[in-house]
Structure 1
Amino acid sequence: MLDKKSLSRLLMSAAILTMGMSGAQAVETLRFSHTDNPGGSRQQAAELFAEKVAEYTDGRYEVQIFPSGSLANDPKAIELLQLGGIDFTVSATGSYATHMPTLNLTAMPFLVDTYEQGWELYDNSEWLQGEFAKLPEKGFRVLSTWEAGFRSFTTNEPLNSPEDAKSMKMRVFPNDMIRWSMEAIGFQTVVMPITDVYISIQQGIVNGQENPVDTIKSLRFYEVAPYITLTRHVYSPLPLTVAEKTWQSFSDEDKEAVMKAAADSAAFSRNLVKSSVESQLTEMQESGATVSVPDIAPFREAVQSVYAKAKDVYGEEAVDQILSDAAAIREKLPAQN
C-alpha cells in the first residue's frame, strides 16, 4: 500500500503528465482558402506551406486548406481575411487592388518579359515593397509571392490580332487595369468571378477569358475556349497573404516560422509553374486545344493608351516609379533570345 507521501507524488506526476498531453494536443487550426482546383499548382504549394507551418511550429498549428473556392471566391476571401474569418489566401495582385488601388499598377501590360524579371520586381522593387508595407492597415499582409505566370487568352474563336477582339466578349475580374487593357485591345468586357467563367463560356455569355497557362490548365478553360493565344500581356503572380488579426496573434517565434514556410512555398511554386508551362500546353493540345503565338506588336501598340490612363487615375509619380523599376530590371536581367 502507498503511503500518503508516495500517493501525493504519484498524483502530482499524473497531473503533470495529463497537462503535458493536453498541451501536446492543443493544436490551433488555421484556415486557408483559394480558388485553384485540387490538382493545381496553388493547391500543391498550399500543401507544402501547411506541411512547413506544422514542421516549423513543432505541430502547434495545422493549416486546413479549402480549394476550388469552396469557402469563397477571390474577392470574398480577401474580405474574410480582413474580418478574421479565414487566416490565409493566395490570389492575383490585382485582386487585392480593391483594398489598395495602387496595386492595379502591377497589372499594367508588358511590364516584364521573363519570370526572373517578374521575381525581381516583386521581391525588390522599392515602390512595390512600399505598397505592400501599407497592407496591414487594410487587415492583411503579404508573406511571399507565389507564381501563376503570364496572362494569355483562351477564346472560343481564333484570336490573331486586336482586330479579332472587336467581335468578342472577354471575361475580366474586378480590376480596372485589366479591364482597360482588354477594352484597349478591342474586347467588350464582362466582370465575373473566376468560379463562374467555365459555364459562362459554355453558355455563350462570354467568348473567353485571360489567365496564366497554369490557371487555364487547372480550371480546364481550354475545354470550352480551345484557342490559346500566348500574348503574355501581364505578369500575374500570386501574393500569399495572412489576416493581420492572425499575424498579431502569433508569437515572434511563430511569425518567423510562418515566414520561413511562406518563403519555402514561394520557391516551390515559382519552380513548379515555370517548369510546367511547356508540358501543360502540350497536354492541352493533345486534348484538342490550338496553341498559337501571335505577332505581339499590334497588341503592344493597342494598349499604349493604358499607361496614360493610369497616370490620369493614379498620378504620374506612382506610374513613373513602377515603370522605372521595371525598366531597370529588364536592363539588369535581359531576356534570352
Structure 2
Amino acid sequence: MLKNVISFTSAAVIAVGALSGALVFSTDASAETILRFSHTDNPGGSRQAAAEVFAKKVEEYTEGRYKIRIYPAGQLANDPKAIEQLQLGGVDFTVSATGSYATHLPSLNLTAMPFLVDTYEQGWEFYDNSDWLKSEFAKLPEKGFRVLSTWEAGFRSFTTRMELNSPADAEGRKMRVYPNDMIRWTMEAIGFQTVVMPITDVYLSIQQGVVDGQENPVDTIKSLRFYEVAPYITLTRHVYSPLPLTVSEKTWQSFSDADKAAVKKAADEAATFSRNLVRDSVNSQLDEMKAAGAKISTPEIGPFRDAVASVYEKAKGIYGDEVAKVLADTADIRKRLPAK
C-alpha cells in the first residue's frame, strides 16, 4: 500500500478556491513514499533484524524517496493473509516460508519435501541457482507478487510437550502445521495427527493442550518462545525452510527502473545478513533455551527418514516429473557441496 507523505517547504503557496472551498497546492516540496512490510516474527527475531537492514538500505539507495514501515508479529496479517494482501496491494512486502506461497503456485510445495539438503550452503545453492526453482519463481508475478531474495530461517525441527525419540512417539499426538500439503504429509507419515492453524495461535494452543507441539526452525522456536510451552526440542532438521522476501507486483511496477535496482540491491544485501545471522546463531540460541529449561535432543534420524519415504511417492502422484527435477537438482548439489 503506497502512502504519500508530502513535506512542504517555506516556498509553498496555498490558494483557496473561493467558490468550491477546495485547497489548491503549489509547492516545490519533495515527497517520500511509505511502504508497508508485514511479517509474523517477534520484534527480537532475525526476520525483524533483516527487515530493519532492508528498510535502511532501501531508504539509502533510493535517496529517501522510499521509506519502509515494518509491522512485526502479525500486526497486519498472518502469513497467508499477508500474501493475499500482496496481491491486492494492501501490503508492499512480506517474508514467509516458501511453502506459504504454494497456495498460489502449488509446485512450490516441492521445496518442502523432507531431507532435500543437509547444510545451509546446499540450501543457498538450491535457492540461488536451481534452474527449476528460478523457473517457478518466474511464474509468481502473474500471481500478484515476486521474489526479491531469499532470507534464512533454517531447518525445521520439533518442539513438543513430550519426548520425541522416534516416529513411534508421534502416534496419537496432534501436531500443528501451516497450510502446506507437503508439511502435512510429512507429519502424517511420521505418525502425527495434523491441525492447521496460523502461527500466531500456536503458543496458546500448545499451552491449552489443543495440540502437542509444532515444528519450525530453531530461530523461530526461540523468537516465538515455543520452548516455554513445548520444552522438548528434537533436532530432526527434517525440512530446509528459508524465507523468500516478496514484493507486491503492483508496488514493483510503480517503481522506476533505478528504484527497482535499488530495492533489489537492498533485498540481496539483507538476504546475506539474514543468512549469516541465522546460521551463526543456532548454537547460542539452543544454549539459551536449554538454560531456560528446554530439553534438547538429536535423535537417530534413520527412522524418521524411513517414515517419510512415502511422501516422495505421494508427491509424484500429483506433481509427476517435477519431483524428479527437484530431487535431481538437490542430489547434484549435495554431491558438489558435501556436508563437512
Answer yes or no: is 1:287 the counterpart of 2:317: no
Equivalence for 1:134: 139
| Structure 1 residue ranges without an equivalent (≥5) | 1-12
* Residue in structure 2 matching 1:166, options 166, 171, 174: 171
The answer to whether residue 338 in structure 2 is matched with residue 329 in structure 1 is no
- Verify: 1:298 aligned to 2:303, yes or no: yes
Residue 323 of structure 2 corresponds to which residue in structure 1?
A: 319
- Give the distance between the partners of 2:277 and 2:12, measured in 1 at CA: 49
- Cα distance in 1 between the residues matched to 2:114 and 2:84: 27
1:175 aligns with 2:167: no
Q: 1:273 aligns with which of 275, 278, 282?
A: 278
1:72-83 aligned within 5 A: 72-83=77-88
Aligned mates of 1:247, 1:110 — CA distance in 2: 34
Taking only the aligned residue pairs, the percentage that are identical comes to 76
Residue 14 of structure 1 deviates from its aligned partner by: 5.0
List structure 1 segments (4+ residues) > 4 angstroms apart after TM superposition. 13-16
- C-alpha separation between the residues in 2 aligned to 1:241 and 1:139? 10
Go from structure 1 to structure 2 and tell me whether the alpha carbon gap of 1:184 and 1:50 turns closer, same or farther (over 3 Å shift): same
Number of the residue aligned with 2:233:
228
Matches within 5 A, 1:146-157: 146-157=151-162
Distance 1:163 1:312 in 2: 27
- Give the aligned partner of residue 3 of structure 1: none
Q: CA RMSD in A?
A: 1.2
C-alpha distance in 2, partners of 1:57/1:19?
22
Aligned counterpart, 1:9:
none
Instruction: Map 1:247-258 to 2 at 5 A.
Output: 247-258=252-263
Which residue number corresponds to residue 59 of structure 1?
64
What residue identity is the alignment partner of 1:54?
Answer: E
Structure 1 residues 15 and 205 mapped into 2: Cα distance closer, same or farther (>3 Å)? closer
Q: Partners in 1 of 2:142 and 2:265 — Cα distance? A: 23
Q: Distance in 1 between matches of 2:296 and 2:105?
A: 35
Number of aligned residue pairs: 319
Displacement after TM superposition at 1:19 (Å): 4.2
Amino acid at match of 2:143: K
Q: For residue 334 of structure 2, what is the amino acid of its counterpart?
A: R
- 1:194 and 1:259 map into 2 onto residues whose CA distance is 28
Deviations 1:58-108 (A, max 9, x none): 000010000000000000000000000010000000000000000000000
**SS of equivalent residue, structure 2 residue 194:** strand
Query: TM-score normalized by structure 1?
Result: 0.93
Cα shift at 1:126:
0.4
1:282-320 superposed Cα distances (whole Å, 9 cap, x missing partner): 0000000000000000000000000000000111x1000
Secondary structure at the counterpart of residue 103 of structure 2: coil
Q: With structure 2 as the length reference, what TM-score do the two structures score?
A: 0.93
Q: 2:203 aligns with which of 198, 202, 207?
A: 198
1:86 and 2:73 are equivalent in the alignment: no
Query: CA offsets per residue over residues 250-289 of structure 1, 9 Å max, x none?
Result: 0000000000000010000000000000000000000000
Which of residues 121, 126, 129 in structure 2 aligns to 1:121? 126
Report Cα offsets for 1:105-152 as digits up to 9, x if no partner: 000000000000000000000000000000000000000000000000
- 1:33 correspondence with 2:38: yes
* Cα-to-partner distance string for 1:153-176 (whole Å, 9 max, x where unaligned): 000000000000003100000000
Q: Deviations over 1:159-204 (max 9, x none)?
A: 0000000031000000000000000000010000000000000000
User: In terms of Rg, which structure is larger?
Assistant: 1
Q: Distance in 2 between matches of 1:86 and 1:196?
A: 21
The AA in structure 1 aligned to 2:137 is: F
Task: Give the distance between the partners of 2:152 and 2:80, measured in 1 at CA.
Answer: 19
Structure 2, unaligned runs of 5 or more: 1-9, 14-25
The structure where helix makes up a greater share of residues is 1
Instruction: Give the secondary-structure state (helix, strand or coil) at the position aligned to 2:245.
Output: strand
Q: Which amino acid aligns with 2:228?
A: E
Task: Tell me the distance in 2 between the aligned counterparts of 1:131 and 1:248.
Answer: 20
Q: Does 1:212 align with 2:221?
A: no
